[in-house]
Amino acid sequence: MTYTIQGSIRLPGDKSIAHRALMIGAIAAGETTIDHLPDGGDIQTTIDVLAALGVNFEQTGTHMTVHGQGGFHWQTPTAPLALNNSGTTTRLLLGLLACPPSTILLTGDQSLSARPMERIAGPLRQMGTQIATTEGHLPIQIHPVANLHGTHIHLTVASAQVKSGILFAGLQADSETTVTGPVHTRDHTERLLAKAGANVVRQGLTVRIQPQTTPLQPLTIDLASDFSTAAFWIVLATLLPDSQLQLPSLSLNPTRTTLLDILARMGGDFQVVDFPRTDVAEPMGTLQVRQQSLQSTIVDATESARAIDELPLLALAATQAEGETVIQHIGELRVKESNRIAATETILQAAGAHIRQDGENWLITGPTPLNIPQHWPLIMPDHRMAMLQIATGLVAGAPVPTTVPNVVAVSYPELTYDLQKLVQFR
């Protein structure tokens, strides 16, 4: 079977922005309103832990009101804070709780408890936070301290989550905090904090934040559609014959759209068909995607760091490109919700793709016709890997799924409906 992608769809709101907006709303003075709040377990985790810390919420459908506390006035939770499987919630929350009123314990599920946390715990200790990990992982205890100290922090790993946690701690410090990273990562936190009245500026690879002496202002946000979710559809519409897809209200933040830059260099056909909205914290607009033949390329370390969540889907696209594509510096994929290097190779090789590792790089040769395996290999529960398997199956001509794995339904519950709406027989 051969498919095409046809239609227009507004995808769920951006989860990365939503986490940050909920947390900033929690410490602002007044009511923060968020429209197009996405469903999903990670967002609910953020809401639940903030509620356990004393924050009040009112939600009607996808509209959320956050009743801000006007500062870091946390209530002592009655039980450990369960972070479930949300790495974003965890790393950002550690910064919010860098100077807690009492000892707080944070826990996670088996997958989250295997992910590295010293990359955020270490910088927070430099600022004076009393934080104890379990051999570098969750569970984590944070103890009260008298105050935090502004400092200069140099990150060796490119991580917007770590940077954001440090910036949240910096709001509570006694002097300026600076964060310098190896590349310019997603800047959602800086944008939202500035909109809320924080003194935060970026100079090259360094972000500077001043202590907050007055409460932050509440936010009014219409969330752009999530680019990482859109990547699934962007790659499919690029690969499947005669496809034409429109994605309205899509996040066009240049720190998120590196995948488009790479695919465009490979020959992808993308066009913004209306003027991007500039009256919001995040630029957004309608992206049109058409099917196009691709050529191989080299994805350098900076691009890999900025498109880390989209690299498995980019690998799928590379299997259909002419020549050998090299994706450099893929090591960070090992410490996501699962080992995404191994899982990506397992899925693509099961369908007949030619992908192999060379040190910290992927070498992918194409174009290669993909086949439907008799049995898909077992992989660890990971929503992005499950979506990669679905996308690979569609490129190979497998039937359109009528249900999706629970791990996907938690993250993108609308996927089954969207598949039925957009994927058509050709």
Residues marked active site are found at: 309
* End-to-end CA gap in the chain: 8
Cis peptide before 139 (omega within 30 of 0): yes
Strands 81-82 and 130-134: unpaired
Q: How many CB atoms neighbour CB 214 within 10 A?
A: 9
> Sheet containing 81-82: which strands, arranged edge to edge?
81-82, 104-107, 137-143, 130-134
Q: Which residues are bridge partners to 366 per DSSP?
A: 323
CA–CA dist 317, 102 (Å, integer): 49
Q: Count how many Cα atoms sit within 13 Å of the Cα of residue 209 in the half-sphere of its side chain.
A: 30
The DSSP string of 368-424 is ------SSPPP--S-HHHHHHHHHHHHHHTPPPPSS--HHHHHH-TTHHHHHHHHEE
Q: How many CB atoms neighbour CB 134 within 10 A?
A: 12
Which of 222, 127, 223, 218 lies closest to 167, judged by CA? 127
Which of 404, 406, 398 lies closest to 416, judged by CA? 404
Is residue 91 helix, strand or coil?
helix
Q: Based on C-alpha coordinates, what's the Rg of the chain?
A: 21
